[in-house]
Structure 1
Amino acid sequence: MSRPGFENVFVLNTGRCGSTTLARACAHLTSHGAGHETRTHLTGPDRLAYPSPHIEADNRLSWFLGRLDETWGDRAAYVHLTRDPEAVARSFVARPNPGILRAYRTGILLGAGWKAPAPDPLVLARDYVDTVTANIRHFLRDKSRVMELRLETLEDDLPRFLDWIGATGDLAAARAEIAHRHNATPEA
């Protein structure tokens, strides 16, 4: 079982930074359940009613941080998973389905896609990455259980993360999973 206080682990991120890969690595654990965007279709209290102990990687949690704090607060551990911001922005722009970036452009920025001139997609993606990163950093400022992981060093950092949460299971398979690129943006 996980260490006391590590009831759940939330992997906060912008997207396009290895969250699918990390979730697949954590799926090899027996000490924790693990998932990637498992409750995105739910509303109200159900949206954040994760089983325990569980590791959840979901970039959309950055828009639920107030409710995440009310529901889990400092009982959970938090990982801020990052990647070079320019690489993240370029990955978003290169995606065939713009997904959350389209929602940011047309919903959060309220019509940025309809007014002339339309924003440059890379400028928009950079703004999204900066906004979500700032939201996450602000949320984490008063949390006592926080770890930062970077996609660029994830292979080396994974053992530290697994030890931090007291993980058990097939740790070799978890480490091997990191070597695969999951949900990678297709190369042009």
Structure 2
Amino acid sequence: MNIFILNAGRCGSSTFVQACKHISNFSAAHESRSTLTGDLRLAYPDNHIEADNRLCWMLGRLDQKYGNDAYYVHLTRDRQASVESFVKRMDYGIMRAYREGILMGGQQQSALEIASDYMNTVSRNISLFLKGKDHTMMFNLENASSDFVDFWNWIGAQGELDKALAEWQIRYNASV
């Protein structure tokens, strides 16, 4: 079984994977195939947990390959906190790609407007993708301690839950 942590970014996906590394019956990685194209891009091993915010742009391909057989988590964070974090990263990564590629320069909008538009777009893409899927879970960063226990049980995880929960006390990939 494959598990995909779908998210907009800036919501704890790095921490999620660090926690999942304490699961012994699944491998886990963050953006492990993000530089690949074609069939290789989505060629994840069996029993793997993957968090990659770029998957929100490949949902059609993800559905074609994994469909209703995979488990999907929609990882979110307080919207305003995510937007503010993206504003700090406007000049690189996914925000630069969104501003320059999708919005064709985004010169008329403020960084706050662009980050907010990105969050709206990605959240709605993920919500629509999950509609009708049998194996979905909402996971909120602000409830990580309880939501992760639910996730652990939902996937039948084995390993060291106490160590996994301790990871949620560490801020990985935090914005400055």
Q: Contact 1:28–1:174 (CA<8 Å) still a contact in 2?
A: yes
Q: Which runs of 4+ in 1 moved over 6 A?
A: none
CA apart distance, 1:178: 1.1
CA distance in 2, matches of 1:100, 1:146: 25
CA distance in 1, matches of 2:9, 2:89: 12
Q: Deviations over 1:154-176 (max 9, x none)?
A: 11211110000000012111111
Residue 160 of structure 2, aligned match among 170, 173, 177 = 170
Q: Which residue of 2 aligns with 1:4?
A: none
CA apart distance, 1:111: 2.5
CA apart distance, 1:95: 3.0
Partner amino acid, structure 2, of 1:15: G
Q: Contact 1:92–1:98 (CA<8 Å) still a contact in 2?
A: no
CA distance in 1, matches of 2:124, 2:38: 24
Q: Any stretches of 5+ residues in structure 2 without a counterpart? A: none
Identity, % of aligned positions: 52
Deviates more, 1:136-145 or 1:104-113: 104-113
CA apart distance, 1:98: 3.0
Q: Contact 1:21–1:178 (CA<8 Å) still a contact in 2?
A: yes
CA distance in 1, matches of 2:15, 2:90: 20
Partner amino acid, structure 1, of 2:41: R
TM-score, normalised by the number of residues in structure 2: 0.97
CA apart distance, 1:97: 5.2
Q: Which residue of 1 aligns with 2:111?
A: 121
**Aligned alpha-carbon RMSD (Å):** 1.1
Q: Which residue of 2 aligns with 1:68?
A: 62
CA apart distance, 1:105: 0.5
Partner amino acid, structure 2, of 1:146: T
Q: Contact 1:101–1:125 (CA<8 Å) still a contact in 2?
A: yes
- SS of the equivalent of 1:80 reads strand
Partner amino acid, structure 2, of 1:181: R
Assess, with a 3 A threshold, how the Cα gap between structure 1 residues 15 and 68 changes in structure 2: closer, same or farther.
same
CA distance in 2, matches of 1:107, 1:67: 20
CA distance in 1, matches of 2:62, 2:131: 14
Partner amino acid, structure 2, of 1:159: V
Partner amino acid, structure 2, of 1:89: V
The reply to whether residue 180 of structure 1 matches residue 174 of structure 2 is no
CA apart distance, 1:96: 7.5
CA apart distance, 1:84: 1.3
- SS of the equivalent of 1:72 reads helix
Residue 45 of structure 2, aligned match among 43, 51, 54 = 51
Residue 152 of structure 1, aligned match among 95, 118, 142 = 142
CA distance in 2, matches of 1:41, 1:27: 22
Report the count of equivalent residues: 176
CA distance in 2, matches of 1:90, 1:159: 28
Residue 130 of structure 2, aligned match among 134, 137, 140 = 140
Partner amino acid, structure 2, of 1:183: N
Partner amino acid, structure 1, of 2:169: A
TM-score, normalised by the number of residues in structure 1: 0.91
